Structure 1
Amino acid sequence: MQIVFHLGTHFSDEGRLLRALAANAGPLEAQGCIVPPPARYREPIRELLNALRGAPADATAQETLLDTITEHDDFARLILSHENFMGFPVQVVSPQGFHAQAGQRLQALCNLFPGAETEFFMALVNPATLMPAIVRFAQRKYSYDQIMAGQPPEDLRWAPVVREMLDAIGGRKLVLWCNEDTPLIWPEVLRRIALQPPEAAFDGDFAVLAAIMAPEGLERLKAYLASHPPKTPLQRRKIVSAFLDKYGLPDRIEVEVPLPGWTEELVELVTARYEADVAEIAALPGVEFLAP
């Protein structure tokens, strides 16, 4: 049995991955891949995690949880998605650092089905765009200083987080990509999480592009791909990139950073460190990195 946890990150795909998988639920189920509605598992998983307190679930607890999640008795792959698997948005930064509980949380998720073949999927997000999104989300209840928890912006680093995640999951698969690359690699992300071949038909291939591209440009892109089918994923990316350059909507691609003390120089520093972390993470043993 394969258990897949899609971890987000917060404010990355805005539920598009789940919607795309749900749109293909019938064909996936026929192959033994189950994508249950989030309402069936998010609260039961939270309750069981709280009850276990990090300990492995016994056979009875596992069976009870599976019966709650899905009515299917015979399946090969179960996909579960929740951006709060890694904690709530206001917990992303704490006095202990950036995603300081990542390892503990992933180890607890592994222990829900300790004998299963478990995989984790997550999009990395530049902290220079992640933190404005978190502040916008939480500003009614929390001040900027509370959200940052005393951490300097330049210290919000992904590489130590991913290393801790790898240590916690004990050789299980960790599949990562950059949210900034998602428009170019979205079809590969969908097929990888659902274990579908590159040539498989899949509803939702244009879900991300629809959010950042002018409608007329998207229709022209679809028509071009239909009349000039790309032979490889790389060829498709080049075509999509060209259409994005021409029809992309700047106000939906570019992210403003109106945060206290975040000067242009600081944003450049945070971004440079993020890019350095991504290069390091992509080369880590145990990480499967999806890149354009």
Structure 2
Amino acid sequence: MQMVYHIGVHGTDGDRMLKTLLNNRGRLLRDRTEVVTPNRHRGVFEEALAALNGGPATPEMEQIMQDAVLDSDDPLRVICTSPGFLGVPSRAIGPEGLYPQAGARIAALTNLFPSAGAEFFVAIRNPVTLIADVLDLHGGDYASLMGGVDPLSLSWLTAVQRMAAGAQGRRLVVWCHEDAPIIWPDVVRLVGGLPPSEPLPGGLLYMHEMLGDQGLRELRGALAGRELPVSQRRDLYAEHLQRNALPHMVEQDIALPGWTQETVDQITARYYQDIPQIAALPGVEFILA
């Protein structure tokens, strides 16, 4: 059995992964792939993680968890999705930077089912918008969230290095949240273990949100009757986003204590400078737009 964990990060998914996978549930089940909804695994996994404290589950404990969360018999691939796998939003930032516990959390997840394989999927995002969104989830207390950490010091490179160390050679797939609308069908197929050419009902969910009804109709019209290579399809998506994206979906006001436009620009520049280095990390499979 292969356990597949889509682990966030916070503010990157909005249940889109779960919705798209459930749109393809019948197809996945034919391949003996089960999608476990958060309401089934949330309490079970949290209690087990707390009890194990990072250690491996016994075969008996594995069986109890399987009986609790699985509907199908003997699945080959089990997909679970939740940003809660990385902890609560208030721990997204610590003295060591972004998601300081990510490596330990991933290592602990592998120990939930030590007899199974494990894969991890995670979207990273510009720390500027991450902090703004996590602050809302945290209750609006900026000083408490940051804990004195200089926002200019935040780097995804060190965070993903911790994730790769926690995965210990297991598959770790990373992409940029900003690219998600363009690469979404490819991300979902990887999570689901589906072939690249597999039809994907719901694969335009993200583009629908970005373009609205009229924009999606135009995109569907441009796609009708065409089987495009991945690169051309992504170019077409990008073209339609540039022309028809809803303003409120691509613009976000940032008003954080002590921040200036220069702060935003410097953090954003570092983020994009880190991406090529993250993509080149050993053990990281990076999805480039």
Deviation (angstroms), 1:138: 2.2
Q: Which region of structure 1 is more displaced relative to structure 2, 69-78 or 119-128? A: 69-78
Q: Kindly report structure 1 stretches of 4+ aligned residues shifted beyond 3 Å.
A: none
- Matched residue, 1:192: 190
Structure 2 spans left out of the alignment, 5+ residues: none
Q: 2:253 aligns with which of 239, 253, 256?
A: 256
The CA distance in 1 between the partners of 2:135 and 2:256, in whole Å, is: 8
Matched, 1:13 2:10: no
Matched, 1:277 2:274: yes
CA contact (8 A) 2:97 2:159 kept: no
Amino acid at match of 2:244: Y
Q: How does 1:48-197 map to 2 (within 5 A)?
A: 48-139=48-139, 143-197=141-195
Matched, 1:243 2:240: yes
Q: Distance in 2 between matches of 1:124 and 1:248?
A: 21
DSSP 3-state at the match of 1:120? strand
Displacement of 1:71: 2.6
Tell which deviates more after alignment, 264-273 or 95-104.
95-104
Letter in structure 1 aligned against 2:7 = L
What is the CA distance between 1:170 and its match in structure 2?
A: 1.1
The residue matched to 1:71 in structure 2 has which SS? coil
How far, CA to CA, are the matches of 2:36 and 2:172 in structure 1? 21
Alignment of 1:206-217 (within 5 A): 206-217=204-215
SS in 1 for 2:224: helix
The one-letter code matched in structure 2 to 1:209 is M
User: Quick one: distance in 1 between partners of 2:97 and 2:9?
Assistant: 16
In structure 1, distance between residues paired with 2:176 and 2:158: 16
Q: Could you say which residue in structure 1 is the equivalent of 2:229? A: 232
Distance 1:246 1:230 in 2: 22
**Deviations, residues 83-138 of structure 1 (Å, cap 9, x unaligned):** 01001111101234321111111111011111211000000111011001111222
2:125 and 2:178 in contact (8 A); partners too: yes
Secondary structure of 1:214's counterpart equals: helix
Question: What's the counterpart of residue 47 of structure 2?
Answer: 47
| 2:54 and 2:108 in contact (8 A); partners too | yes
Q: What's the C-alpha RMSD, in Å, of the aligned pairs?
A: 1.1
Q: Distance in 2 between matches of 1:168 and 1:238?
A: 35
Shift of 1:26: 1.0
Deviation of residue 53 (structure 1)? 0.6
DSSP-derived class of the 1:34 partner: strand
Between the aligned residues of both structures, percent identity stands at 38
Give the match's secondary structure for 1:182.
helix
1:206-225: CA deviation from partner (whole Å, max 9, x where unpaired)? 11111111321111101210
Instruction: Tell me which of 274, 284, 287 is aligned to 1:287.
Output: 284
- Is the CA contact (8 Å cut-off) linking 2:157 and 2:274 kept in structure 1? yes
Aligned residues: 289
User: Which whole-Å CA distance do the structure 2 matches of 1:168 and 1:190 have between them?
Assistant: 23
Q: Deviations over 1:58-92 (max 9, x none)?
A: 10000000111113222110001110100111110
Matched residue SS, 1:11: coil
**Distance in 2 (alpha carbons) for counterparts of 1:91 and 1:122:** 17
Using structure 1 for the length normalisation, give the TM-score: 0.96
Name the CA distance, whole Å, in 2 between partners of 1:195 and 1:143: 40
